[in-house]
Amino acid sequence: MSTLQERYKSVNERIKKACSDAGRSPDEITLVAVSKTKPDEDVISLLREGYVHFGENRARALEDRMESVQNTSAVWHFIGNLQTNKIKYMVHRVNWIQSIHKKKALKEVEKRASEINREIQVLIQVNISEEDQKSGCDPEQLSGMLKYAQDLKYTKVRGLMGMATFTDDSEVVRPEFKLLKSLRDEHLHLNGGSVDLKHLSMGMTNDLEVAIQEGSTMVRVGTAIFGERNY
């Protein structure tokens, strides 16, 4: 059995190798450790080693995690299906909300963040897979959301996030990642004000190599770091 630290290191090795194969620098990639359902001790132990980016996909789990870990160097990412009425519970501590999929959510983040005078980094989640249970906005909605976001003050749009079809077939996921990147490129002219489309959050345990080949700047990895989940 490998330890948590060993698994984390081996994910970093996978990222390095993928970057070198793709002619990219590993400095371009942020690894977000997706700790959902795993004990706080695992998160704390990685923090002790100096790893700081953590992701949760349920609002309540993120709140509990931020509360019980209480670490000021941790960078917290919300990556799950976002209900607008849960935003107020996370704005005090969350650093990134990766799963904004409608204007109403942008508006709520702005309202809550302005009340506490705190900037929140967000990504717009776009639906890139054919599986209809995956959330995210339709590509046609992107430009409207970005134009709206330009004038926000506390809500900083830093890029796009996408979830590929759940499969280890790279030829299924590759066109989905290509789609996300081309959507980003097509909307770069909307950079300005609070919009700066620098990041592409794509790639998980099964498909991080393909995602890096296709331009990912953030990979969200759970299983390969923390082990299988029991659900």
In the stretch 43-62, what mask flags binding to ligand PLP with x, by CB under 6 A? --------------x-----
Nearest residue to ligand PLP by CB is 222
47, 73 contact by CB (below 8 A): yes
Does 36 interact with ligand PLP (rule: CB under 6 A)? yes
Please, which residue, 58 or 103, has the CB nearer to ligand PLP? Answer: 58
Does 221 interact with ligand PLP (rule: CB under 6 A)? yes
Does 213 interact with ligand PLP (rule: CB under 6 A)? no
Q: Which stretch binds ligand PLP (CB under 6 A): 12-20, 131-139, 147-155, 201-209?
A: 201-209
Whole-angstrom distance, CA of residue 226 vs CA of residue 191: 36
Size of the site for ligand PLP (CB under 6 A): 14
Q: In the window 63-122, what residues touch ligand PLP (CB under 6 A)?
A: 79-80
Give me the long-range contacts of 164-170 (CB less than 8 A, separation at least 24). 164/128, 164/129, 164/202, 164/204, 164/207, 164/211, 165/129, 165/130, 165/131, 166/131, 166/206, 167/206, 168/206, 168/207, 170/207, 170/209, 170/210
Please, which residue, 171 or 228, has the CB nearer to ligand PLP? Answer: 228
In the stretch 162-181, what mask flags binding to ligand PLP with x, by CB under 6 A? -x------------------
Whole-angstrom distance, CA of residue 182 vs CA of residue 210: 15
Please, which residue, 164 or 190, has the CB nearer to ligand PLP? Answer: 164
Does 12 interact with ligand PLP (rule: CB under 6 A)? no
Please, which residue, 72 or 132, has the CB nearer to ligand PLP? Answer: 132
Does 204 interact with ligand PLP (rule: CB under 6 A)? yes
Please, which residue, 125 or 213, has the CB nearer to ligand PLP? Answer: 125
Residue numbers of the site for ligand PLP (CB under 6 A)? Answer: 34, 36, 57, 79-80, 163, 204-206, 220-224
